Amino acid sequence: MSRNQLYVRGLRDSVPMLVGIAPFGIIFGTLAGVGGLSIWQAVSMSLFVYAGSAQFIVVSLMGAGASAVVILLTTFIVNLRHVLYSATLQPQVQGLPQRWRLLLAFWLTDETFAVVQRYYIVHGRTPLAHWYWLGVTSALYACWVSSSLVGVLFGQAVPNMASWGLEFAMLATFIGIVVPLLRNQPQIAAALAAGAVALMTGSLPYKLGLMAAAFSGIAVGVLLERRQLSNTQDTPSNEVHS
Amino acid sequence: MSYGWLILGMTAITFLMRYSLFAWPNLRFPPVVRQGLHYVPTAVLTAIVVPGMLLPDGEHWQLSLENAYLLAGIACIAIAAFTRNLLATIGGGLAVFFLLRWVLGQI
């Protein structure tokens, strides 16, 4: 496929995500307006920070009058998972020029990661795959920024929109990404462990529990995968493990 | 500190984490790390979703039939498991969620 075809395919594959991102962007814009940010401040947060859940939490912190240190530390911890995304996709940016790596890093979000990672799993690494990545990520970015703007404007007109529960769109998106991944025991166990630890550590400050939960899930997945591997090596069989 | 500087700080922190490992594209990870990276999406996203369904306000458990986040979340899981279609999951889940909120008088 040519660059253009890959780019358009990326745009097309991002459409389902837009259904989830648009309501989430609208609710962010609404809350930012309620929290005392100007239109320009709310939109520039989406333009430059471009991290949905962190923006969401920070707006509520700003509304509560949290200090700058708390806000920046929260941003750091809530976004730490991007280091994991960066590590996961790192083999795919090998050989790409610096300007591509800078751009794709700036646009690396949960949703972009999910779509692009699935593409690489299905299609492997092809020389022009970064054009697909660019298509996905530019569509999601445009949607996030414009829906934030819509949210700020609507929020002024419809004051109680903040209580509609539009943030459920993010949960629906993530469920739609995760469930198809649960194809084998280690993945299911990783999800159960991460979910359980997230519930147990929910009271920790600054969303520290999120990282504790992520690492617990990863550890359980790896341990189970290794145990399964050593079992199959001990007892050779024709059974195919997916 | 003004909001402008805060936004700049958040931008720098977020970008540096996203760029962190792209800065060294030739770095190879040991096998155990590469294995672990396969579980990143599952672990991270589940850790966001589960508390979002059971503790919608971030603090209080809501194990009740009036919790639209929990019920619609379960509907999403069912739709995703049966259809494996992202658009159906997000669109269907949102429809169930707002229908529930309306029926329960929460909108």
| In a shared domain, residues A174 and A143 | yes
Q: Is the Cβ pair B76, A79 closer than 8 Å?
A: no
DSSP secondary structure code for residue A239 in this structure: P
Tell me, what's the pLDDT at A161?
A: 77
Using the Cβ of A78 and the Cβ atoms of chain B, whether some distance falls under 8 Å is answered with: no
Task: Supply the Cα-derived Rg of chain B in whole angstroms.
Answer: 19
| In a shared domain, residues A126 and A10 | yes
What DSSP string runs through A90-159?
Answer: GGGGTT--HHHHHHHHHT--HHHHHHHHHHHHHH---TTHHHHHHHHHHHHHHHHHHHHHHHHHHHHHSG
| In a shared domain, residues A59 and A120 | yes
Tell me, what's the pLDDT at A206?
A: 60
For the question of an ipTM over 0.85, the answer is: yes
| The CA-based dihedral angle spanning residues A202, A204, A210, A213, taken in that order and rounded to the nearest 10 degrees | -70
Considering A131, A160, A181, which residue would you say is the last residue of a domain? Answer: A181
Contact residues on chain B for A117, CB-CB shorter than 8 A: 41
| In a shared domain, residues A125 and A238 | no
Residues 6+ apart with CB under 8 A from A127: none
**CA gap A67, A235 in Å, rounded:** 59
| In a shared domain, residues A229 and A241 | yes
Name the residue among B10, B86, B91 with its Cβ closest to that of A72: B10
Considering A181, A200, A231, which residue would you say is the last residue of a domain? Answer: A181
How many domains does chain A fold into?
2
Domain residue limits at B97: 3-103
For residue A32, give the nearest of A55, A54, A59 by alpha carbon: A59
**CA gap B66, A228 in Å, rounded:** 41
- Per-residue pLDDT band at B80 (split at 50, 70, 90): very high
**pLDDT (tens digit per residue) in A89-112:** 999 999 899 999 999 999 999 999
| In a shared domain, residues A186 and A139 | no
Contact residues on chain A for B12, CB-CB shorter than 8 A: none
**CA gap A50, A55 in Å, rounded:** 8
Cβ-based neighbour number of residue B107 at 10 Å: 13
Contact residues on chain A for B22, CB-CB shorter than 8 A: 86, 89-90, 93, 101-102, 104-105
Residues 6+ apart with CB under 8 A from A58: A45, A71, A74, A75, B6, B10
Contact residues on chain B for A53, CB-CB shorter than 8 A: 48
| In a shared domain, residues A91 and A168 | yes
Using the Cβ of A35 and the Cβ atoms of chain B, whether some distance falls under 8 Å is answered with: no
End-to-end Cα spacing for chain A: 29
Considering A129, A164, A181, which residue would you say is the last residue of a domain? Answer: A181
The pair of three-digit structure tokens given for residue B67, joined into one six-digit string = 């919790």
Domain residue limits at A229: 182-242
Tokens 């414009």 -> residue = A146
User: Which residue in chain A is spatially nearest to B91 when comparing CA positions?
Assistant: A19
How many domains does chain B fold into?
1
**pLDDT (tens digit per residue) in B17-36:** 999 999 988 888 888 988 89
**CA gap B47, A208 in Å, rounded:** 11
| In a shared domain, residues A166 and A189 | no
Instruction: Confirm if A172 and A23 have CB atoms less than 8 A apart.
Output: no
Tell me, what's the pLDDT at B28?
A: 82
**CA gap A195, A216 in Å, rounded:** 9
**CA gap B76, B64 in Å, rounded:** 17
Tell me, what's the pLDDT at B17?
A: 94
**CA gap A187, A183 in Å, rounded:** 7
Name the residue among A83, A196, A199 with its Cβ closest to that of B20: A83
**CA gap B52, B37 in Å, rounded:** 24
Instruction: Confirm if B91 and A174 have CB atoms less than 8 A apart.
Output: no
Tell me, what's the pLDDT at A61?
A: 79
Instruction: Confirm if B52 and A200 have CB atoms less than 8 A apart.
Output: no
Tell me the torsion sign for CA atoms B77, B81, B87, B88.
Answer: negative
Q: Is the Cβ pair A72, B4 closer than 8 Å?
A: no
Contact residues on chain A for B75, CB-CB shorter than 8 A: none
User: Would you say residue B1 has pLDDT above 60?
Assistant: no
- Local mean pLDDT, 10-residue blocks, chain A (242 residues): 94 92 91 86 96 86 81 86 92 93 96 92 90 97 96 85 83 92 95 95 76 92 93 60 46
Mutation for A interface: B39, B50, B97, most A CBs within 10 A: B39
**CA gap A36, B36 in Å, rounded:** 41
| In a shared domain, residues A58 and A138 | yes
The pair of three-digit structure tokens given for residue A198, joined into one six-digit string = 């997230």
Cβ-based neighbour number of residue A70 at 10 Å: 15
| In a shared domain, residues A38 and A134 | yes
| In a shared domain, residues A176 and A218 | no
Tell me, what's the pLDDT at B15?
A: 97
**CA gap A137, A109 in Å, rounded:** 8
